[in-house]
Chain A
Amino acid sequence: MKRLAILLAIVFTAVTAGADVQPGDVITKDNLDKARALLSPGIQWCVEHGLIIKVVAPKKVEWPRAYRDATEAYSSQVKLSAQRDLLENYVAGMPFPNIDPNDPEAATKIMWNYQYKPLLTDDVLMRDFQVPSGPLTFTAPMELDREFMVGDLRRLYYNGRLFVDPKPELPNPDAVRYKEILSPLVAPFDMKGVGALDIRYISAARQDDNWLYVPAIRRVRRMSTAQRSDSLFGQDTDQDSYWGFSGHIAWSDWKLIGIKDELGVLHRENYRAQRCPGGADFVFCDNWEKRKVYVVEGTSKLPQYAYGKRVLFLDTEAWVVLHSDIYDKRGELWKIWIEYFTYRKQSNPGSKIVYEDEMGFTSAEMIDTQMQHATLIMIPGPASPDQETWYFNKGANAVSPYASGNVEDVFTVPHLISAGH
């Protein structure tokens, strides 16, 4: 038995030694093999097409204290419902802080933890971000098909609240999980004024409700949300892919593939995400670190879903998706979602807002490997004059020229109407 354990250790070491990186290493397509085992197939594709990975020493990501306290106080009473589509007795914090990989429900519990992750608890405002998209040539900078400038994107959580009263839950007769409003699109002129309101419910039986303000018709239009894998305005992103995965947990079947080391971006050096040079400018170049991740595979239960499966690489400490690989129905790699986080107490050195805990400021992108097309989400974008573009858990103080804070009144159809021009 002892000999077997030693043998296994040697084999394990041999495998990882061949695929280990050290802080200071720079991974390019020329030495990709060095890091291949630490990269998903999607990230490998990116490196093969020009992504340069600068490896730095990993840094711990601490949970906000209030989140830690809530987890300690309430996690023991949380249970999965019989259909695994709901949490019972959930109040706040992480529902299942101790995951046993051998638990048959491990994947589902991981995803519920992701749903109630430390980063997003009460509310968030992201301002002034740019969303360019275009085809990839790999030999020259990305051409521009379309580029949207978003004024405000806000989200208000109704349960699991820790910082802004009322806690832990807003009055919630309709069992809302969160409401999200994007309003307005600031540019280009033909899309100026577009706004969208989305409501996610706690119950998996209830689909999202969504409304769109369309300036050309000067009114709010009800939208169907059933086609969650549909690309938005023709770009590469879809409703379910934001943050790595934005659908309701119970709308997919989940399988835990394993726990592994993976390179990801959690402490981005540049506040404004920097695009790689030349033909690789469809990705951001910054610091990557070795992280322990859950590898979770999800298959949607929704009819006519465009994707066959998505594989999430979920950081075990920060509980955010570092990146995800999305496959088509034939099982071939189709899209890659990458998050570029930077965890810090100030979004940037000049920021007036200093948080008590480290918060995760991110930019992201979606790459369509089959159509050779990409959509970048840069928060803030290079064109934004304002450095202050992130507000976590600020409630009524998350004020912008477009809304008076992350308050319930803003996340309504009347607000979409009254803000519409």
Chain B
Amino acid sequence: MSDRHARRLTSIGLGVILAAGLGGRADALPRYGPLELAGSVAAYQLIRHPDIDQYSFIMQRNTVLLRTDLSLIQSGRMLDQVDVPWIKQARLYALYRGVYDSVYDYTPGFNQKNIWGNKINLNLSDLGNSTRDRYKWENRLREAYIDVDLADAPLNFRIGRQQIVWGETDNFRMLDRVNPLDLTWHLQQETWDQLRVPMWMIKGMWRTGDLDFIPYVPMRDTFFEWYWNPGDWYPAKKQFLPRPWSAPILDPFKDPSTPPAGGRGLFNILNNLTPFDVNSLYKGTKLFRQGDYSRSIKDNSQVGVRFSAATGTDFPLLPDGLNFTLNYFYGRWNGGDDGTNAAVFKGILDPRLALQALKRGEAPVEAISPYMHTIGFSANYAEEEYTQTVFRMETIYEMGVPFLDTSKQFPSRGAWSVLSKDIYGVSKRDMWKGMIGFDRPTWIRLINPKSTVLILGQFFWHRLLNNPDVECNDPNEGLPCPISGQGKGFRGQFSTSGIATTGIPGRGVWIDKIRDWELLATLTATSFFRGGKFVPFLVYIIDPVNSYNQEVMWFADYFITNNFILNLSQRYFINTSTRPAFETWGVGGLNRGRSETGIKLTYTF
């Protein structure tokens, strides 16, 4: 699409928002017989202010959402014309999203720093046209599926491109793991129905009702739910600088910048040291996209199943009305969109295979997304008598999470020694993750005499089992091992040997330590004011493990009319130290310098 056409589209979109949105009465149901149509048009601006006197326009994202619901079969008749056997009800659902982010056209200048605190000296204008076109447009039928209820069995299916969300957490990834996240345009700082990547899947539910067959263990409202993704799966989408909301590093393979911030991408290093033209990863694998497998039913299927129930009267040891689920997943590793500092690639350390790769123009590094088993449990309970609070919890046990293992490296002498501090093999470990949380509607009449303030708290942990100690190759050298390099222990994604960042051995060396425990706490408050016209949120997040880095966020929806919404937001990322905080959750460490103000206008119809 040409720039002129794109700008016209933006103007039309904004014009629609301004002109039509000021009306506001909901004069008609959005239903036309069996068909419902609805949607929204939004213009979303982000202004980054890393310091009090620094401002950068980093996003101007225009989004169109179009939704259709079609009641195809009702009471066994299609569109009230034809009898359909075996099916009681069927509904079609489709959601289209079109996006145009104009910053990739007019490329406002702004400077960013990487996680080690170095300016990257790269702007959006340094990206090629085709790259910017890829980033600025989205034109996608996001979701399209059919819901089918069978007539004579308590079974229903959802077949098509969809999102599947299990679990009890708000914006954290444990049981909510079926769809990977698109972390490229605002990291994880959006409602996840906008960030999850919908996939072609089949989901089924078997409603088994009240179960009393186990003596003294009555269960109510039980069901089994399962899904199968027959190959349409990708890992989490991530990007690198200079995209404003990316991982805070330049591309470690194709780094186009110059020292001290970069210029030492692996491909550059290999091209300088070898006679080969290295421009891809091992066997054509693509980081954050495709490992060494085909996207087929046999090679790329993902499955999951859960059982859900509520405790009935006189359930032993547990109160009545406690909801719980038991979950199992078998699928590929999502690539760490849950805050795990895991490996997304591994080194090919066999010198013979590594040489063959180089001859093919491939770096001896392979993007990986190994299969793993995960089991999980979740529960919620409304304790109304003493605390008037809903308590919820969720926990998973993951088997075989991959980590870069520095005990697996190229020999420190010989031809491959130059890669011995950059490329490592992978070892797998189990992890235990969990959350406990509460929701409490609370009267604070000084703030709001008419509505309660809903207070939500969550506490998360990640526990890595059998985490080896970190040591240097030279046992007499201390961390961060600037001379001999790390020789034992797992290596986080932001570790650097120094060559990668400064080009000078021993300088700019960091060890991103992978900890036994990672913890996070969140607190949110919201209420309704002015008859629901004004809805603010206040969010506080703290990571007590990584230098107490924090995020404070507020945002508010103001309904100018019933259909025209102004959303204002601010995010502040707070660090207690000037040293890099290699936190994994996406709070103040990862997002240092990314404090921002957001202004969003939305017209719904």
Listed in ascending order, the chain A residues whose CB lies under 8 Å from chain B are: 128, 130, 132-135, 144-147, 149, 173-175, 186-190, 192, 206-207, 209-210, 215-219, 221-227, 230-231, 233-236, 303-304, 306, 368, 371, 373, 375, 381, 383-385, 399, 401, 404, 409, 412-414, 417-418, 421
- The answer on a CB contact under 8 Å between B531 and A145 is yes
- The answer on a CB contact under 8 Å between A189 and B530 is no
**Does B422 make an interface contact (CB < 8 A)?**
no
Q: CA A215 – CA B313 in complex, angstroms?
A: 31
Within 8 A of A (CB), among B525-545: 528-533, 535
Q: CA A206 – CA B89 in complex, angstroms?
A: 35
- The answer on a CB contact under 8 Å between B221 and A412 is yes
Known contacts A207-B384, A224-B388, A414-B207; is-contact A149 B26 (Cβ 8 Å): yes
- The answer on a CB contact under 8 Å between B443 and A304 is yes
- The answer on a CB contact under 8 Å between B25 and A147 is yes
Q: What size tier do the contact residues of chain B reach?
A: 35 or more
With A149-B29, A418-B147 already in contact, 7 other A-B pairs whose C-beta atoms are closer than 8 Å: A145-B532, A147-B26, A187-B26, A190-B40, A192-B67, A216-B191, A217-B165
- The answer on a CB contact under 8 Å between A173 and B443 is no
Q: Name the B residues within 8 Å of A149 (CB-CB).
A: 26, 29-30
- The answer on a CB contact under 8 Å between B384 and A413 is no
In the complex, per-residue mask of B492-533: 1 if CB is within 8 Å of any chain A CB, else 0:
000000000000000000000000000000000000111111
**Does B469 make an interface contact (CB < 8 A)?**
no
**Does B230 make an interface contact (CB < 8 A)?**
no
From B27, B75, B313, A399 is in contact (CB under 8 Å) with B75
- The answer on a CB contact under 8 Å between A224 and B384 is yes
Q: Name the A residues within 8 Å of B27 (CB-CB).
A: 383
Q: Name the B residues within 8 Å of A227 (CB-CB).
A: 388, 441, 443, 452
In this complex, what residue of A is CB-closest to B212? A173
- The answer on a CB contact under 8 Å between A234 and B533 is yes
- The answer on a CB contact under 8 Å between B384 and A226 is yes
Q: CA A418 – CA B89 in complex, angstroms?
A: 12
Show 24 A/B contacts (Cβ-Cβ < 8 Å), sorted by A.
Answer: A132-B26, A145-B530, A145-B562, A146-B532, A147-B562, A173-B312, A186-B36, A189-B39, A218-B196, A219-B165, A219-B166, A221-B439, A222-B323, A222-B380, A225-B382, A230-B443, A231-B528, A234-B450, A234-B529, A235-B531, A306-B443, A401-B71, A404-B75, A409-B154
Q: Name the A residues within 8 Å of B29 (CB-CB).
A: 128, 149, 186-187, 381, 383-385
- The answer on a CB contact under 8 Å between A404 and B31 is no
Within 8 A of A (CB), among B418-464: 439-441, 443, 450-452
**Does B565 make an interface contact (CB < 8 A)?**
yes
**Does B559 make an interface contact (CB < 8 A)?**
yes
In this complex, what residue of B is CB-closest to A133? B531
Known contacts A147-B25, A147-B562, A401-B91; is-contact A218 B532 (Cβ 8 Å): no
Q: CA A339 – CA B130 in complex, angstroms?
A: 63
From B26, B170, B192, B310, A130 is in contact (CB under 8 Å) with B26
Q: Name the B residues within 8 Å of A192 (CB-CB).
A: 38, 67
Shortest Cβ gap from A391 to chain B (Å): 14
Known contacts A145-B533, A192-B67, A227-B441; is-contact A215 B193 (Cβ 8 Å): yes
From A173, A236, A381, A401, B218 is in contact (CB under 8 Å) with A173
Q: CA A218 – CA B163 in complex, angstroms?
A: 8
Q: Name the B residues within 8 Å of A173 (CB-CB).
A: 210, 212, 218, 312-313
**Does B573 make an interface contact (CB < 8 A)?**
no
In this complex, what residue of A is CB-closest to B194? A216
Known contacts A173-B218, A216-B193, A231-B451; is-contact A223 B382 (Cβ 8 Å): yes
Q: CA A130 – CA B221 in complex, angstroms?
A: 31
- The answer on a CB contact under 8 Å between B384 and A219 is no
Shortest Cβ gap from A337 to chain B (Å): 16
Q: Name the A residues within 8 Å of B36 (CB-CB).
A: 186
Q: Name the A residues within 8 Å of B320 (CB-CB).
A: 174, 206
**Does B288 make an interface contact (CB < 8 A)?**
no
Q: CA A231 – CA B223 in complex, angstroms?
A: 33
- The answer on a CB contact under 8 Å between B223 and A383 is no
**Does B561 make an interface contact (CB < 8 A)?**
yes
Q: Name the B residues within 8 Å of A399 (CB-CB).
A: 74-75
Q: Name the B residues within 8 Å of A146 (CB-CB).
A: 531-533, 559, 562
Q: Name the A residues within 8 Å of B218 (CB-CB).
A: 173
Q: CA A227 – CA B440 in complex, angstroms?
A: 10
**Does B551 make an interface contact (CB < 8 A)?**
no
From B24, B30, B557, A186 is in contact (CB under 8 Å) with B30
- The answer on a CB contact under 8 Å between B440 and A224 is yes
Q: Across chains A and B, which 6 residue pairs bring their CB atoms closest together, nearest first?
A: A234-B528, A234-B532, A226-B388, A189-B604, A401-B71, A145-B531
Q: Name the A residues within 8 Å of B165 (CB-CB).
A: 217-219
Shortest Cβ gap from A379 to chain B (Å): 13
Shortest Cβ gap from B138 to chain A (Å): 19
Q: CA A413 – CA B450 in complex, angstroms?
A: 29
Shortest Cβ gap from B445 to chain A (Å): 9
Q: Name the A residues within 8 Å of B312 (CB-CB).
A: 173-174
Q: Name the A residues within 8 Å of B39 (CB-CB).
A: 189
**Does B48 make an interface contact (CB < 8 A)?**
no
Most buried by B among A175, A190, A303, A409: A190
Within 8 A of A (CB), among B122-154: 143, 147, 149, 154
Most buried by A among B95, B384, B440: B384
Shortest Cβ gap from A129 to chain B (Å): 10
In this complex, what residue of B is CB-closest to A149? B29
Q: CA A206 – CA B314 in complex, angstroms?
A: 13
Q: CA A368 – CA B530 in complex, angstroms?
A: 12
From A303, A306, A412, B207 is in contact (CB under 8 Å) with A412
Q: Name the B residues within 8 Å of A147 (CB-CB).
A: 25-26, 562
- The answer on a CB contact under 8 Å between A224 and B390 is yes
Most buried by A among B29, B156, B557: B29
Q: CA A186 – CA B441 in complex, angstroms?
A: 26
Q: CA A227 – CA B451 in complex, angstroms?
A: 10
Most buried by A among B65, B388, B392, B565: B388
Q: CA A375 – CA B451 in complex, angstroms?
A: 15
- The answer on a CB contact under 8 Å between B192 and A217 is yes
Q: Name the B residues within 8 Å of A210 (CB-CB).
A: 382
- The answer on a CB contact under 8 Å between B531 and A234 is yes
In the complex, per-residue mask of B163-204: 1 if CB is within 8 Å of any chain A CB, else 0:
101110010000010000000000000011100100000000
Most buried by B among A190, A234, A304, A383: A234
